[in-house]
Chains A and B, each alone.
Chain A
Amino acid sequence: MNQNLKNIPIIEEGEGPLIQPIDLDGFREHNRKKSKALIDKTMSEKEAIDKFVKSGDYIGFELYGTVRCPMTLARELVRSGKRNFRIVGQGVHELDLLFAADMVREIDFTYIGLEVYGISANMRRAVESGSITKLVEWSNAALTWRFKAASMGIPFIPTRSMLGTDTLKKSAAKVVECPFTGQKVALLPALIVDVAFIHVNRADKHGNCQIDGISGFAFEMARACKTLIISAEKIVDTKEIREHPDKTIIPYYLVDAVVHAPYGSWPGEMSGMYERDEPHYKSFVEKQKKKDTMDAYMKEWVYDLPDHKALVDKVGKNKLEELTIKEA
């Protein structure tokens, strides 16, 4: 090994662009200015989207598939008319709505699909029509580790994933020889999201959040974003948070807005609280296959509903009751 190494040579680099620049000092400055006061951050989904999201932002949703999805926030984002978003392509059901509304331009892509129900037709239409102008490939771990780098406040993180593949060639990763071991590693650039949306089981009015079940990448993304909008099944007293501080995945100072959204993951599931609305989801799967039926679905389930409460009323108490997991 060359002890006088001044620059580490790049052995290979992905041709994909970095669609969100890495500005660590800007991130620190932003975090410095963020209020650390215990203030009331509860607001409606409309207030939160109006106040904190702008067209062209780089946005991200957690979790995945139809599990613990911030659907209330996604619907409001669609209704807001804001557009030209750059997104983390790791989420599913929210993105179907965003694609259907033609709101996405650039994607850091890992998996967008309907899992057991196959390929997302909304995604296919968006990508194959050319309405997505930049598409950069990553593995699932790579995207989460990019969040992890940002959450650590460092510019990149080395990994042994993606090496030797076209996934790397179409990413923005760089391959170097490790200066300690001489082994090849792929360097993943930190990913700082402008606005992140996370749905949680419970939060207090300050934004202290607790999640039941798997935490997906909530921990990392919450620490890798400038603005964090939370929707919560329950708004609880801070006393309840303090009784189980070990359950707090997201402390209040990371959070900008807290939206009360019971059944906020519908038609998806929420750990320990309710199951996926399988009949509705199956009907969605059918409707998303063609643009006209998808447009009709969007009108019925997004545009024609003024807010989350109207959605809950439309789904109906009986249906929601049926989906609710009964205490053993």
Chain B
Amino acid sequence: MEQKYSPSELLICLASRVMEDGTTAFIGTGIPMLAASLAQKMQAPNLVPIFEFGGTGAILEKLPLAVGDMRTYNKGIAASGICDIMETSQRGFVEFGFLGGAQIDCYGNLNSTVIGDHKNPKVRLPGSGGGNDVGSSCWRTIAIMIHDKRRFVEKIDFLTTPGFLTGPGAREEAGLPKDTGPYRVVTNLCIMGYDDESKKMKLLSVNPGVTVEQVIENTGFELLVADEVANNSHPTEEELRILREEIDPDGLYR
């Protein structure tokens, strides 16, 4: 009998399971921080979180609230600065990067800059920050998103962070490092990957209780669907206990 859980708890657990032990991963604010913390306590005790402002290898005991706060280098391996971290990624040392945004398209391009026109914006968003750099130079990026038609769109209003740009070969053509790019999209409905040939987003597995049709209905572009769509499992009791008791006792993300 599975326990009840919130959509964000499910998102955290799914994102956490994607993280591999003994790898380096760029961690941004919010859900990636909780997911990384959970991964360290589950399957990936030797996950090395990397925070853009200089924290490397923190043991995530308490939830960081900012990408520069003390918890991002708690019992860490190194506390350096932005240049060191970004240059480490530019020369190919960072394996995974977690990203988010207000909009995403079928090639995994992300918008976190503006809704509407750049000059006369409807909503001015916080901007690239390290997002563009993570999307440019780390090997594989994982986007974490709330899944609806306003966010999964045919055309994003502004291309802040590069996915596969306009399709196969476009990243290399633009000068971005070879073999890099989007890897997974984790949402409250499903997990998606990308088609090897077309570089378009492809449904791989659905969350408990979610149908393939539901995912398609909530996606604003034509979504490819894997021949066999797998089922993601519920958060386990152990995952939920760690999340609620150890990582987020104040329930900021419940």
Chain A to chain B contacts (Cβ below 8 Å), 16 pairs: A64-B68, A113-B127, A123-B124, A124-B124, A137-B127, A148-B83, A160-B136, A163-B176, A164-B159, A165-B159, A175-B175, A183-B175, A185-B175, A214-B54, A214-B68, A276-B65
> Closest Cβ of chain A: how far from B61's Cβ, in Å?
14
Task: State whether A116 and B29 are in contact (beta carbons under 8 Å apart), knowing that A139-B133, A141-B86 are contacts in the complex.
Answer: yes
**Measured CA separation A276–B65 after assembly (Å):** 10
| B70 in contact with A217 (CB, 8 Å) | no
Task: State whether A111 and B90 are in contact (beta carbons under 8 Å apart), knowing that A65-B68, A160-B137, A217-B82 are contacts in the complex.
Answer: no
Considering only residues 84-137 of chain B, those with a C-beta below 8 Å from chain A are 86, 90, 109, 113, 118, 121, 123-133, 136-137
> Closest Cβ of chain B: how far from A16's Cβ, in Å?
10
Is B57 at the interface (CB under 8 A from chain A)? no
| A165 in contact with B90 (CB, 8 Å) | no
Is B174 at the interface (CB under 8 A from chain A)? yes
Give the A-binding residues of B (Cβ under 8 A): 29-30, 52-55, 65-70, 72-73, 79-83, 86, 90, 109, 113, 118, 121, 123-133, 136-137, 158-162, 165, 170-171, 173-177, 252
| B129 in contact with A140 (CB, 8 Å) | yes
Instruction: Report chain A residues within 8 Å CB of B136.
Output: 139, 160-163
Instruction: Report chain B residues within 8 Å CB of A275.
Output: 70
**Measured CA separation A213–B55 after assembly (Å):** 9
Tell which of A139, A166, A170, A269 touches B130, judged by Cβ atoms closer than 8 Å.
Answer: A139
Instruction: Report chain A residues within 8 Å CB of B128.
Output: 110-111, 137-140, 167
Instruction: Report chain B residues within 8 Å CB of A269.
Output: 69-70
Instruction: Report chain B residues within 8 Å CB of A138.
Output: 128
| B130 in contact with A140 (CB, 8 Å) | yes
Mostly helix, strand, loop or mixed at chain B's interface?
loop
Instruction: Report chain A residues within 8 Å CB of B130.
Output: 111, 139-141
**Beyond A113-B127, A148-B83, A216-B82, 4 additional pairs, beta carbon < 8 A:** A145-B83, A164-B165, A165-B165, A269-B69
Give the B-binding residues of A (Cβ under 8 A): 63-68, 89, 109-113, 115-116, 119-120, 123-124, 127-128, 137-142, 144-145, 148, 159-167, 170, 175, 183-186, 213-220, 269, 271-272, 275-276
| B73 in contact with A161 (CB, 8 Å) | no
**Measured CA separation A160–B138 after assembly (Å):** 11
Tell which of B73, B127, B175 touches A164, judged by Cβ atoms closer than 8 Å.
Answer: B175
| A144 in contact with B86 (CB, 8 Å) | yes
> Closest Cβ of chain A: how far from B21's Cβ, in Å?
25
**Measured CA separation A327–B83 after assembly (Å):** 31
**Measured CA separation A220–B80 after assembly (Å):** 12
Closest to B156 in A: A166
Instruction: Report chain B residues within 8 Å CB of A272.
Output: 70
| B159 in contact with A214 (CB, 8 Å) | no
| B81 in contact with A164 (CB, 8 Å) | no
**Measured CA separation A64–B65 after assembly (Å):** 12
Closest to B69 in A: A67
**Measured CA separation A158–B252 after assembly (Å):** 41
Closest to A170 in B: B118
**Measured CA separation A271–B124 after assembly (Å):** 31
> Closest Cβ of chain A: how far from B113's Cβ, in Å?
7
Closest to B122 in A: A128
Task: State whether A64 and B127 are in contact (beta carbons under 8 Å apart), knowing that A144-B83, A186-B175, A218-B81 are contacts in the complex.
Answer: no
Instruction: Report chain A residues within 8 Å CB of B79.
Output: 213-215
| A119 in contact with B126 (CB, 8 Å) | yes
| B66 in contact with A214 (CB, 8 Å) | no
**Measured CA separation A271–B121 after assembly (Å):** 37
Closest to B65 in A: A116
Task: State whether A162 and B54 are in contact (beta carbons under 8 Å apart), knowing that A109-B127, A113-B127, A141-B86 are contacts in the complex.
Answer: no
Task: State whether A184 and B175 are in contact (beta carbons under 8 Å apart), knowing that A127-B124, A216-B81 are contacts in the complex.
Answer: yes
Closest to A325 in B: B70
Most B CB atoms within 10 A — which of A123, A138, A159? Answer: A159
| A140 in contact with B162 (CB, 8 Å) | no
| B29 in contact with A115 (CB, 8 Å) | yes
Most A CB atoms within 10 A — which of B53, B90, B113, B170? Answer: B53
> Closest Cβ of chain B: how far from A106's Cβ, in Å?
14
| A214 in contact with B121 (CB, 8 Å) | no
Instruction: Report chain B residues within 8 Å CB of A124.
Output: 123-124
> Closest Cβ of chain A: how far from B248's Cβ, in Å?
11
